[in-house]
């Protein structure tokens, strides 16, 4: 998943800085301190500048056109349809949600600057910053991307993620490191350092409550879209802080040479250090599998589960339960003749207790994402019933949870073993 709100599209043009602010036009004089900024970053990270960084300015209308062109180049229409359907079937966005349109509007609103790692060029928005100090901040973030790209090839790094969740983790490395360096440059100018002032990191990793009026597209977007956008920056910042405190300057290279494998390792850096094992659970079986084709599929990590649980049960339960995730995946199938879609979901949990809690939580997810849920058969470890788009079966087997959703007869789910 995340071909639009993440891997294939959002980061096809490089990393965005999300805290954009309205301001007077920025001219190329904003780049006058580029060499000094790069020298600071080199000293902090130990990464040497390999080549000059190309730069330019861009305005919002041209950015929007650029984003729309990127969608056409990176994502085919049937892939857009599949990703949108998957988000809707999982209950992460409403049924009337337009994924491509919202993503373009969201990125256009949020971008203050970006580094295009295909063209190896840095862009500042014409109205990206309100002062010379803000210009320096934005520039440091994007120069951090440029410096990392010269050593680790960000395009290849991002696309080597083996699963959706591992690619999200790599995004968090990219954006988290750039964000950490941006704040470290600010701190050093004030005679401080993030390594000795962890309160700065904690403060900077919290979303601003004042952004609703300033960023109406972001504030009106579904929770999943908002958090998917913010996760790489805010959680990535805290992850990079933990790595630097543990490994020192070597940490700036380590996270690229030995990247985290999932969003759980970003959320819990100690799991990155210890490499806590996760596995892909087996999908639930359905009859007449050959009559379906796969529209899309992928991993569902701790981050995805935390949003799903929060959306339908609450933030407190999400925080307590999602950390016990140990693997997750989904497939979206389409019946070849009748064209209806079926969602297959599976997740693995740390122990039977957390799996039971997720069974109960997922039942509330089903009830919350549908207008109607009619139970037909129920036991301590199984729920069969009918929802808005067909019949479903929710099953608990030890530490594994599975769900089949969207079948056209109750026999399709009741007769399964």
pLDDT tens digit sequence for 11-30: 433 344 434 433 334 445 66
In 3D space, the residue among 215, 152, 179, 240 whose CA is nearest the CA of residue 17 turns out to be 179
Q: Is residue 99 part of a domain?
A: yes
Least-confidence region, from 147-161, 276-290, 403-417: 403-417
Number of domains within the chain: 2
DSSP 29: G
Q: Is residue 9 part of a domain?
A: no
Q: What is the mean pLDDT of residues 204-227?
A: 82
Same domain for 165 and 34: yes
Helix (H) or strand (E) holding 113: strand 113-116
Same domain for 227 and 80: yes
At residue 233 the predicted structure's pLDDT band, cuts being 50, 70 and 90, is very high
Q: What is the mean pLDDT of residues 390-412?
A: 96
Asked if residue 395 has pLDDT above 70, the reply is yes
Supply the DSSP string of 186-252, one letter for each residue: HHHHTT--TTT-HHHHHHHTSPPTTHHHH-HHHHHS-HHHHHHHHHHHHHHHHHHHHHHHHHGGGHH
Same domain for 265 and 293: no
Q: Is residue 280 part of a domain?
A: no
Q: How far apart are the first and last CA of the chain?
A: 29
pLDDT tens sequence across 236-260: 999 999 999 999 999 999 999 999 9
Residues whose CB falls within 8 Å of the CB of residue 124, separated by 6 or more in sequence, listed in order: 26, 30, 31, 55, 56, 57, 58, 112, 113, 135, 138, 139, 142
pLDDT for residue 209: 58
Q: Is residue 15 part of a domain?
A: no
Residue with tokens 């199938």: 333
pLDDT for residue 29: 64
Domain with 98, as residue range(s), is 28-271
Angle at 147 between CA 144 and CA 152, to 5 degrees: 115
Asked if residue 402 has pLDDT above 50, the reply is yes
Q: Is residue 134 part of a domain?
A: yes
What average pLDDT is seen over the chain?
89
Q: Is residue 13 part of a domain?
A: no
Same domain for 136 and 87: yes
Same domain for 246 and 332: no
Least-confidence region, from 100-109, 211-220, 307-316: 211-220
pLDDT for residue 172: 97
Where is the domain boundary, 271, 303, 330? 271
Query: What is the rounded distance in angstroms from the CA atom of residue 384 to the CA atom of residue 376?
Result: 6
Q: What is the mean pLDDT of residues 329-334?
A: 97
Supply the pTM of this predicted model. 0.91
Q: Is residue 7 part of a domain?
A: no
Q: Is residue 34 part of a domain?
A: yes
CATH label of the domain that carries residue 341: 3.40.1000
pLDDT for residue 22: 36
Q: What is the mean pLDDT of residues 275-289?
A: 90
Same domain for 293 and 266: no
Where is the domain boundary, 271, 305, 335? 271
At residue 162 the predicted structure's pLDDT band, cuts being 50, 70 and 90, is confident
Least-confidence region, from 28-37, 194-203, 206-215: 206-215
Same domain for 299 and 255: no
Residues whose CB falls within 8 Å of the CB of residue 16, separated by 6 or more in sequence, listed in order: 10, 107, 110, 111, 112, 113, 114
At residue 70 the predicted structure's pLDDT band, cuts being 50, 70 and 90, is confident
Asked if residue 349 has pLDDT above 70, the reply is yes
pLDDT tens sequence across 2-13: 544 443 344 433
Same domain for 252 and 187: yes
pLDDT for residue 113: 87
pLDDT for residue 28: 55
Least-confidence region, from 73-82, 172-181, 291-300, 399-408: 73-82
Same domain for 351 and 312: yes
Same domain for 296 and 259: no
Same domain for 117 and 41: yes
Greater pLDDT, 208 or 60? 60
pLDDT tens sequence across 77-128: 999 999 999 999 999 999 999 999 998 898 888 888 889 888 899 998 875 4
Instruction: Using a pLDDT cut of 70, give the percent of the chain over it.
Output: 89
Same domain for 362 and 237: no
In 3D space, the residue among 51, 88, 173 whose CA is nearest the CA of residue 389 turns out to be 88
pLDDT for residue 48: 96
Where is the domain boundary, 271, 302, 320? 271
């Amino acid at each position: 998943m995340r071909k639009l709100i993440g891997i294939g599209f959002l980061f096809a043009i490089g990393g965005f800085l999300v805290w954009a602010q309205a301001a007077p036009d920025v001219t190329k004089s904003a780049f006058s301190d580029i060499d000094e900024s790069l020298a600071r970053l080199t000293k902090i990270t130990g990464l040497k500048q390999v080549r000059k960084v190309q730069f330019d300015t861009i305005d919002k209308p041209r950015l929007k056109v650029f984003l729309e062109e990127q969608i056409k180049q990176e994502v085919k229409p049937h892939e857009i349809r599949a990703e949108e359907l998957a988000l809707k079937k999982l209950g992460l966005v409403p049924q009337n949600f337009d994924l491509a349109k919202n993503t373009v509007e969201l990125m256009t609103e949020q971008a203050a600057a970006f580094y295009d790692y295909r063209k190896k060029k840095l862009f500042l928005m014409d109205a990206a910053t309100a002062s010379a100090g803000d210009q320096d901040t934005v520039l440091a973030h994007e120069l951090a991307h440029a410096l990392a790209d010269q050593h680790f090839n960000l395009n290849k790094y991002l696309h080597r993620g083996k699963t959706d969740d591992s690619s999200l983790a790599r995004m968090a490395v990219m954006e988290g490191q750039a964000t950490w360096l941006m704040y470290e440059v600010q701190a050093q100018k004030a005679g401080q350092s993030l390594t000795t002032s962890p309160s700065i990191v904690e403060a900077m990793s919290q979303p601003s409550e004042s952004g609703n009026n300033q960023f109406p597209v972001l504030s009106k977007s579904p929770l999943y879209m908002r958090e998917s956008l913010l996760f790489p920056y805010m959680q990535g910042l805290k992850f990079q802080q933990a790595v630097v405190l543990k490994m020192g300057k070597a940490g700036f290279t380590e996270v690229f040479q030995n990247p985290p494998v999932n969003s759980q390792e970003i959320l819990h850096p100690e799991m990155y250090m210890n490499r806590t094992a996760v596995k892909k659970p087996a999908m639930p079986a359905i009859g007449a599998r050959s009559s379906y084709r796969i529209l899309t599929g992928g991993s569902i990590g701790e981050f995805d589960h935390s949003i799903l649980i929060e959306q339908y049960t609450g933030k407190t339960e999400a925080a307590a339960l999602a950390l016990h995730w140990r693997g997750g995946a989904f497939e979206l199938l389409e019946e070849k003749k009748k064209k209806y879609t079926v969602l297959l979901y599976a997740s693995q949990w740390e122990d039977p207790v957390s799996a039971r809690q997720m069974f109960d939580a997922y039942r509330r997810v089903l009830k919350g994402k549908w207008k109607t849920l009619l139970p037909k058969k129920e036991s301590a470890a199984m729920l069969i019933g009918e929802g808005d788009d067909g019949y479903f079966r929710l099953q608990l087997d030890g530490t594994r949870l599975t769900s089949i959703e969207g079948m056209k007869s109750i026999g399709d789910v009741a007769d399964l073993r």
